[in-house]
Structure formats: structure tokens, C-alpha cells
């Protein structure tokens, strides 16, 4: 899951609402968006973040590959954070790689509540233990193998290879390096909250010195607004989604549909920050909130959240410091920028 890679690969973010593929290439001290495409997820192909129709998802991935016009044949994908078990364990620092792997496997059984033959796991040494200089901290990550196999099957159905299987919170942490231009002091010596609104769920992550120290998923997302538009105006799912993005709804849309939804957004952020503050001693309010995801494009949402929680808030833009190829621009990558945190974090694995 964590091994370094040398050949180019694209980030492939598969969600209940869309499939986003992005390829980044080095450009000076930064990156350029080389290729991009997004496709709607086939209806009923993904439920509760699990892929139930690999062939349908694979066909959508093939369409994205064709539209992106990329030659990359290998991708980085991610499983959801709530499908993974993460634990920092301590190991003797003198162990070589083979010995470390053997010892981690022996200890993993203590922390994983499933039979080991049903589990995929990996680990990474993250540094010297603060409690014992003769030990190192090791990050252990595990998930049921079926969670990995579902996504690999969809990728293979598209004729691609999943070279990296990451976990969404780690991909998001990776992508936050692309948001430092919006953070005070580049995020160092600061706590920054990143709220990523998805279709059916939202993730609040709090970073200290660009490292995630807290993450929480909650059931709220843009799909709720789409469904409300469907219900009130009698539209299909596809038409409601298009109207939400492009406009053209009746004059009562903002006061009766959009404003209550935005108010709910702000309440969800406020509640999640309260959970963060209560999660451990000495917790303090973040210095800044960056709002990402499709809902971040709602006009005025950053100002409303800031007024509700009393914390400076901006719309997160991971592409803000990047050049964009004409191919990617034609596919609307800049309009989708706020929703590309996970995809960009996965694409950055190409440069590990």
C-alpha cells in the first residue's frame, strides 16, 4: 500500500457520485495537470462506499480514460477511511526490513479483529519513538482483502492496473501539500481544518504541521441537495444534478431549498469541530478552515461557515499553484478543482 513507485500513474478517485481521474507531471518546483476526466458513477454500482458492480464501474473508468486521452495504464486508488484499521505500534529500531516485516505480522494479529488470511495490511516506519529511543514508531494499516479486491476488479475491468492502494485520509493528507499556498505560514506551527464535502458523506480532517491529527466522517453531502431538487421540482436524478451545477431553477430555489441546505452544512461543520475539541485534552480551535468538495462551489458558503464558527474560512483549491494543460482545461478540471483533493493526493503517489 505504501511502497515507492517510479513509473507515472494517475490518481483515480471512485465515489458514489463520480469517477475522477487526474494525471500530474513535474513542472519546475511544482506540478502540471496533464490529463483529467470525470464520469458519473453508474446508478446502483456503488453503495456505502463498496463497489457492487465492478463491470459497470470499469466501463465508466474506461470512458474517463478515453476522455482524458492519457497513456497511463497504472493508477493509484483508495479505500475509505472507515474501511481501514490504523494503529501506531513500536518496534525495536535495530531490525532489518525482513525482520521488521516478520515482527509486524506477528503483532498485527493483536490489533486486527479479523482472521489474518482475510486481511491485507502494510506498514511504514514513521520515526523514532518519543517514549523510547531504542524503538521506532511504525504505522500499521489493515483492511479486509475484499475491500481492496472490489476496487482492483473495477480497475482491471477498465484494462488498468492498480499499482497503489491507499487510504482516503492518507491521500487527503498527501494532497494538503497542494493547499499550503492558502494556509498561514504554509501550515507550519498551525492547526488547519479541511472539510471535504462529498456526495453522501463528508470528512473533517484537522492538520497540525500538515499532518492529520484527527479525522471524522459524517453522513452529509451534496446528494441530499440533489434529492431535494428532485423531490420539489419533479426532476430526474440526472436533470437535478445538472440544474444544481448549471442553474435555471425557479426563483424559490435559493430561499426554500439552497439556503436551508447551506445552513445545515454550517451546522455540520460546527458540530464536527465540537467533536474534535472534545476528542482530547488541550485541543484548540483550528486557525483556519478550508472547505473542499462539490458543495464548496455554492456561492458564499465560506463566509457563512466563518460567521457560524468564528474561524477564518476559505475555499480550498489544490490546483491553485499549478499549470493546466489544454487537454485538462477542456475537460473542466478547474471547475472541479474543489472536489479533487483525494484524486490529487493519489496522483502525487507517482512521485514517492
Instruction: Write the DSSP assignment of 203-262 as a string of letters.
Output: EEEEEETTEEEEEEEES--HHHHHHHHHHHHT--HHHHHHHHHH----TTHIIIIIHHHH
C-alpha–C-alpha distance, residues 223 and 295, integer Å: 10
Q: Fold for domain 182-315?
A: Nucleotidyltransferase; domain 5 (3.30.420)
Within 89-142, residue ranges assigned H as helices are 97-111
Residues of the chain with CATH 3.30.1490.300: 82-145
Section 74-99 average pLDDT: 91
Judge whether residue 5 has pLDDT over 60. no
Compute the mean pLDDT over every residue in the chain, rounded to the nearest whole number: 92
Judge whether residue 11 has pLDDT over 90. yes
Judge whether residue 150 has pLDDT over 70. yes
> Above pLDDT 90, what percent of the chain?
73
Beta strand spans in the chain (E): 10-14, 18-27, 30-40, 46-47, 50-51, 74-79, 84-92, 119-128, 135-144, 161-167, 191-197, 202-208, 211-218, 288-293, 313-315, 323-324
The confidence band for 220, taking pLDDT boundaries of 50, 70 and 90, is: very high
Judge whether residue 2 has pLDDT over 70. no
The C-alpha cell at 196 is 471535504
Radius of gyration of the chain (CA): 21
Least confident of 93-107, 156-170, 263-277: 93-107
The confidence band for 116, taking pLDDT boundaries of 50, 70 and 90, is: confident
Per the model's pLDDT, the better-predicted residue between 346 and 321 turns out to be 346
b/e per residue 259-278 (b: at least 16 CB within 10 A): eebbeebbebbeebbeebee
Judge whether residue 87 has pLDDT over 70. yes
Distances (CA, A) of 152 to 146, 266, 352: 10, 36, 21
pLDDT of residue 6: 55
Q: Fold for domain 82-145?
A: Dna Ligase; domain 1 (3.30.1490)
The confidence band for 114, taking pLDDT boundaries of 50, 70 and 90, is: confident
The confidence band for 245, taking pLDDT boundaries of 50, 70 and 90, is: confident
Least confident of 40-49, 155-164, 307-316: 40-49
Least confident of 78-82, 269-273, 318-322: 78-82
Task: Look up the CATH number of domain 10-81+148-177+321-351.
Answer: 3.30.420.40
Judge whether residue 126 has pLDDT over 70. yes
Residues of the chain with CATH 3.30.420.40: 10-81+148-177+321-351, 182-315
C-alpha–C-alpha distance, residues 116 and 8, integer Å: 32
Amino acid at each position: 500500500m505504501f511502497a515507492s513507485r517510479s513509473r507515472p500513474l494517475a490518481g483515480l478517485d471512485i465515489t458514489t457520485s463520480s469517477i475522477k481521474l487526474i494525471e500530474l507531471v513535474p513542472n519546475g518546483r511544482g506540478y502540471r495537470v496533464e490529463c483529467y476526466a470525470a464520469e458519473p458513477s453508474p446508478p446502483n454500482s456503488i453503495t456505502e462506499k463498496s463497489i457492487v458492480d465492478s463491470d459497470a464501474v470499469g466501463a465508466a473508468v474506461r470512458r474517463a480514460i478515453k476522455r482524458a486521452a492519457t497513456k497511463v495504464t497504472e493508477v493509484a486508488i483508495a479505500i475509505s477511511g472507515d474501511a481501514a484499521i490504523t494503529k501506531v505500534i513500536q518496534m525495536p529500531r535495530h531490525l532489518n526490513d525482513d525482520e521488521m516485516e516478520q515482527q509486524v505480522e506477528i503483532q498485527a494479529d493483536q490489533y486486527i479483529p479479523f482472521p489474518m488470511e482475510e486481511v491485507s495490511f502494510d506498514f511504514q516506519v514513521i520515526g523514532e519513538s518519543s517514549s523510547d529511543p531504542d524503538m521506532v514508531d511504525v504505522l500499521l494499516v489493515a483492511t479486509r482483502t475484499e475491500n481492496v479486491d472490489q476496487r482492483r476488479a473495477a480497475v482491471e475491468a477498465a484494462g488498468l492496473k492498480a499499482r497503489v492502494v491507499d487510504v482516503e485520509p492518507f491521500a487527503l493528507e498527501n494532497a494538503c501539500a497542494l493547499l499550503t499556498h492558502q494556509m498561514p505560514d504554509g501550515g507550519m506551527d498551525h492547526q488547519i481544518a479541511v472539510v471535504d464535502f462529498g456526495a453522501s458523506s463528508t470528512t473533517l480532517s484537522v492538520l497540525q504541521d500538515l499532518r492529520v491529527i484527527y479525522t471524522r466522517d459524517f453522513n452529509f453531502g451534496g446528494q441530499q441537495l440533489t434529492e431535494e431538487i428532485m423531490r420539489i421540482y419533479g426532476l430526474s436524478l440526472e436533470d437535478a444534478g445538472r440544474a444544481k451545477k448549471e442553474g435555471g431553477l425557479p426563483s424559490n430555489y435559493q430561499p426554500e431549498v439552497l439556503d436551508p441546505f447551506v445552513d445545515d452544512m454550517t451546522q455540520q461543520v460546527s458540530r464536527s469541530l465540537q467533536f474534535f475539541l472534545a476528542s482530547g485534552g488541550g485541543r484548540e480551535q483550528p486557525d483556519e478552515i478550508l472547505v473542499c468538495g462539490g458543495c464548496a462551489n455554492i456561492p458564499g458558503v465560506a463566509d457563512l461557515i466563518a460567521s457560524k464558527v468564528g474561524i477564518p474560512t476559505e475555499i480550498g483549491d489544490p490546483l491553485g499553484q499549478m499549470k493546466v494543460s489544454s487537454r485538462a482545461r477542456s475537460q473542466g478540471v478547474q471547475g472541479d478543482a474543489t472536489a479533487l483533493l483525494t484524486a490529487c493526493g493519489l496522483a502525487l503517489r507517482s512521485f514517492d
